[in-house]
Amino acid sequence: MRLILLMVLAALLSGCGYNQIQQKDEAVNAGWSEVLSQYKRRADLVPNLVNTVKGYASHEQQVLTQVTEARAKVGQINVNADDVASLAQFQQAQGELSGALSRLMAVVESYPNLKADQAFLNLQTQLEGTENRITVARGRYIQLVQDYNTYIRSFPQNLVAMMFGYKTRPNFTVENEAQIQDAPTVDFGNSAPEAPPQPAPAG
Amino acid sequence: MVSRQGRRRLAGIVDTLALAVVLASAFAVAPAAAQDRATPRAVPVLVEKSADGGVLAAVPPLSSAVIDTSGTLSGNATSRIEARIATFEEGTGSQLQVLVVPTTGDESIEAYANRAFEAWKLGRKGVDDGLLLVVAKNDRQARIEVGYGLEGAIPDITAGRVLDEYVVPKFRDGDYGSGIEAGVEQLIRLAEGEALPPPEHGTEDDVSGQALLLLVLLAVVGGMVGSLKGVSWPWMLGATVLACVLVAALMPGMFVAYLLSMPFTLVFFWPLGWFLMQSGKARWWAGAMLALVALAALLVQLFGGIKVMAGLGIVLAAAFLCVFLSLPVLGATHAWKHNRTGFWVRACVWIAGLSFALYAIASADWSIDTMIPAGMACFIGTIVLFATALPGGSGSGGRSSRSGSRSSHSRSSRSSSSSSRSGGGGRSGGGGASRSW
């Protein structure tokens, strides 16, 4: 009798996993802060970059305006990592900034003086480093969210999660990214390059 | 006035509750111990195909400070660079790694370098002062990956400059050895400029520990000799004090510290030695302990501290296992003789528990994260299950399972690395710079 009671107690206590849910939840939060800080780091590099490029390529108004606007849009967004729509909107805005930056880099290729400028080279190194940091932070965040979601949905933790109101968290998606980040072919023959399709802002 | 029957029942209930608390804490502790590692699953070290079918280059095991799978560097250059890195690592405690591969396959050198850094965990945990220089020879790409802690001394621009000014020019001439040497030298200079926490000097700690042990032994032996008939104990005490002062003088820089610790060691251990001689049995025990300590000191000098500690650890763990497993064996034999039905019930529960644990491990792909708590649960469950069959109730079972969980907890959280080089647990955020030539 005593033994059966013990076994039941042990099974219940081992199966709850409440502590683990807390740990994984906090890990996801930490991963999200890391992602946000790396994105902010990139956004902080953009004004310097735009000014440096303007010094050499002031006629490339369209591309420079696109970059500045994309950055302003990113700065205005207040993202909530638990809301699917909010996260999708944030991802789209960051994707637009990435696209605008890659277009800017494509344009810079035709200005050899600019490419040799030490300030620009430094900014380019910093930008590449920041993009890599973003990739690493996103990769880690995606893994953390997967880990958390899988844990919350497995038995018997899902019972505890349901009891305490823990839901699965949204994750970064890859599909719309590829669409936005398409670097268009730069045609040097045309005077006005074709404007890339602007994705309608969500909600 | 509680009757004898009632008291026994009460004791039984208290026993049960105590066991339940012990089991619960064991189950709560085990996942926490397993979770001491990073929460997401560790990146596999050797991988040939990525998820989308691309070919990834394998990350070689961390065998030395310079790993060259492309055969570019000569033996001389390799040993020179390794020696330079060794001096740097001992001086600062950071970790610098050079990796030369023929190609990084389908992935970019940034992704490969980050994967290698994650797998090896370069740099000290918490300080994250690791550096990785990756050269993909056939791809003509080089990258410096900087750990979190060194991003102040070596920001991206500086890493780019090291590559631009010291490494790539030599690579363009085809001289890989001197390019890597120059890059390593620059990285070391930059990293040494950074105010990092000082390294743990293992050798100093060993010697100071041995000196302390020597002081204690001197006090004990002094006490023992001083208690002998025909020996004047004030003279013996004086001789012991003199010997301790001499030992303290052998430790440069720590002389005052050891002098200050002398009164304590003398007050505690000199009378201990004295009283140990008073009874015959204590005399035998003291002699045996002294012989053991002398043997251990000899072994440490011969084989090095770590191997002896590891050996001792294994022997002690095996002894613990035998002692704790003898309890369920005794319980099982006792139940077999006196309580056959109880034996069968327990056997069925044990088999069911084992199969459930095996199923849990198998369904989690035999990962170490589930094996440790499941293994501990089986171990504790076995002891508890059969120890309760012993006469005298579960009081002894509770005690043994409590210390069983403690010893297996410390066993699970101790990491074992048999290779001479191992990462310190540091992390990198993807900082650094890449260049191609």
Instruction: Give the DSSP letter string of A133-198.
Output: HHHHHHHHHHHHHHHHHHHHHSTTHHHHHHHHT--PPP---SHHHHHHT--PPP-TT-SSPPPPPP
Range of the domain at A156: 2-180
Residue A43 has pLDDT above 80, yes or no: yes
Angstrom distance (rounded) from CA B80 to CA B181: 8
Strand-pair partners of B97? B132
Determine, yes or no, domain membership for A202. no
In a shared domain, residues B293 and B209: yes
Mutate to test the interface with A, among B15, B39, B150, B379 (most CBs of A within 10 A): B39
Residue with tokens 């010094």: A55
Q: Taking CB atoms and an 8 Å limit, are A23 and B35 in contact across chains?
A: yes
In a shared domain, residues B251 and B346: no
Share of chain A above pLDDT 70, in %: 80
In a shared domain, residues B249 and B276: yes
Domain end among B282, B303, B324: B303
Mean pLDDT of A121-148: 93
User: Residue B381: its chain A contacts at CB < 8 A?
Assistant: 10
Q: Which residue has the higher pLDDT, B214 or A137?
A: A137
- Residue A177's pLDDT is 53
Mean pLDDT of A48-70: 89
- Residue A24's pLDDT is 92
Nearest to B39 by CA among A4, A48, A167, A148: A148
In a shared domain, residues B186 and B206: no
Nearest to A71 by CA among A34, A46, A48, A95: A46
Angstrom distance (rounded) from CA A142 to CA A81: 12
Determine, yes or no, domain membership for A185. no
Determine, yes or no, domain membership for B43. no
Residue A175 has pLDDT above 70, yes or no: no
Shortest distance, CA A108 to any CA of chain B (angstroms) = 19
pLDDT band at A104 (very low <50, low <70, confident <90, very high): very high
Residue A191 has pLDDT above 50, yes or no: no
In a shared domain, residues B71 and B187: yes
Q: What DSSP assignment string belongs to B4-53? A: HHHHHHHHHHHHHHHHHHHHHHHHHHHHHHHTTS-SSPPPPSS-SB-TTS
Strand-pair partners of B136? B101, B141
Total domains in chain A come to 1
User: Residue A126: its chain B contacts at CB < 8 A?
Assistant: 155-157
Determine, yes or no, domain membership for A101. yes
Considering only alpha carbons, which residue of chain B is nearest residue A146? B40
Helix ranges, B121-251 (H): 156-162, 168-172, 176-193, 202-226, 233-250
- Residue B408's pLDDT is 40
In a shared domain, residues B139 and B231: no
- Residue B323's pLDDT is 79
In a shared domain, residues B190 and B70: yes
Residue A155 has pLDDT above 50, yes or no: yes
User: Residue B32: its chain A contacts at CB < 8 A?
Assistant: 19
The pTM score is 0.56
Range of the domain at B114: 66-194
Considering CB atoms only, which of A6, A17, A140 is closest to B20? A6
Considering CB atoms only, which of B40, B159, B346 is closest to A144? B40
In the three-class reduction of DSSP (H, G, I as helix; E, B as strand; rest coil), residue B301 is classed as: helix
Shortest distance, CA A131 to any CA of chain B (angstroms) = 9
Angstrom distance (rounded) from CA B122 to CA B426: 5
In a shared domain, residues B296 and B383: no
In a shared domain, residues B24 and B79: no
With a CB-CB cutoff of 8 Å, which residues 339-368 of chain B face chain A?
345-346, 349
Determine, yes or no, domain membership for B432. no
User: Residue B28: its chain A contacts at CB < 8 A?
Assistant: 13, 19
Mean pLDDT of A79-104: 91
Total domains in chain B come to 3
- Residue B418's pLDDT is 40
Residue A18 has pLDDT above 80, yes or no: yes
Residue ranges of chain B with per-residue pLDDT less than 70: 1-2, 11-12, 14-54, 194-210, 251-254, 304-307, 392-419
Mutate to test the interface with A, among B134, B156, B346, B363 (most CBs of A within 10 A): B156
What are phi and psi for residue B7, nearest 5 degrees? -65, -40
- Residue B2's pLDDT is 62
Half-sphere exposure of B385 (CA within 13 A, CB side): 25
Q: b or e along B85-96 (b: 16 or more beta carbons within 10 Å of the residue's beta carbon)? A: beebbeebbbbb
Mean of the per-residue pLDDT values of chain A: 82
Determine, yes or no, domain membership for B437. no
Determine, yes or no, domain membership for B328. yes
